Chains A and B, each alone.
Chain A
Amino acid sequence: DAKTTQPTSMDCAEGRAANLPCNHSTISGNEYVYWYRQIHSQGPQYIIHGLKNNETNEMASLIITEDRKSSTLILPHATLRDTAVYYCIVRRGYNNNDMRFGAGTRLTVKP
């Protein structure tokens, strides 16, 4: 699976958009980009995933560059409850279930 690089930590003001970057320059054609987050003392939670096109759901938007070497997770109006570690994961194919979690980005939303 492709490696990902994320900043160790980021801050965001409450109510503003949080933009979390992820580099995955060695991604191959059949690899998807996934985002999970882990709030303190809880298990990770799925957020969103995509292959080529930008994706949006009720939690977030995922913007994937045209060359697919990087992506950005956008939380449009961050709240204090969005404070968590965010993991960007790249994995093979649609049916391969083994996720590989890296260190992630610790996002702190401040009042």
Chain B
Amino acid sequence: DVKVTQSSRYLVKRTGEKVFLECVQDMDHENMFWYRQDPGLGLRLIYFSYDVKMKEKGDIPEGYSVSREKKERFSLILESASTNQTSMYLCASGLPYEQYFGPGTRLTVT
């Protein structure tokens, strides 16, 4: 079974803190993705990566950056967390026709 794991299920951070969300996949996928999910807005793509050290902006990259130093690991970074970044964050990895999602990290910024 494909496994996509995320470092935390729940996280509480203060405004202005630097936040790292980690995602690891065990299927040697080249493609990895970060989404956020908010009520009424569905899933929105933040960043994705086609290969190590390669990244592409999604629909809402502002306030976020990413790092892909190893194929299996894709990190989402909030340089200075703000309250409007309180959300559910979902990582995915995938083949061209199928994405596998992790369980999500519910981040609260106070």
Contacts and interface: CB of A to CB of B under 8 A. Distances in A.
Interface centre among A42, A94, A99, A103 (most CB of B within 10 A): A99
Contact of A46 (B42, B100, B103): B100
Interface string A24-50: 000000001010100001111110010
Given A49-B97, A94-B96, A43 B45 contact: no
A100 B45 contact: yes
Interface string A92-105: 00111111111110
B96 A95 contact: yes
Contacts of B101: 42-45
Interface SS majority for chain A: loop
B interface bracket (residues with beta carbon within 8 Å of A) = 20 to 34
Interface size class of A (residues with CB under 8 A): 20 to 34
A104 B103 contact: no
B42 A43 contact: no
Interface string B45-58: 10010100000001
Contacts of A99: 33, 43, 45, 99
B96 A43 contact: no
Given A43-B90, A43-B103, A98 B42 contact: no
Residue among A34, A100, A102 with most chain B CB within 10 A: A100
Contacts of A42: 101, 103-104
22 contacts: A32-B97, A34-B97, A36-B99, A42-B104, A43-B92, A43-B102, A43-B104, A44-B90, A44-B92, A94-B97, A97-B31, A97-B50, A97-B96, A97-B99, A98-B33, A98-B58, A100-B59, A101-B35, A101-B42, A101-B43, A101-B44, A103-B40
Interface of B: 4, 31, 33, 35, 40, 42-45, 48, 50, 58-59, 90, 92, 94, 96-104
Interface of A: 32, 34, 36, 41-46, 49, 87, 94-104
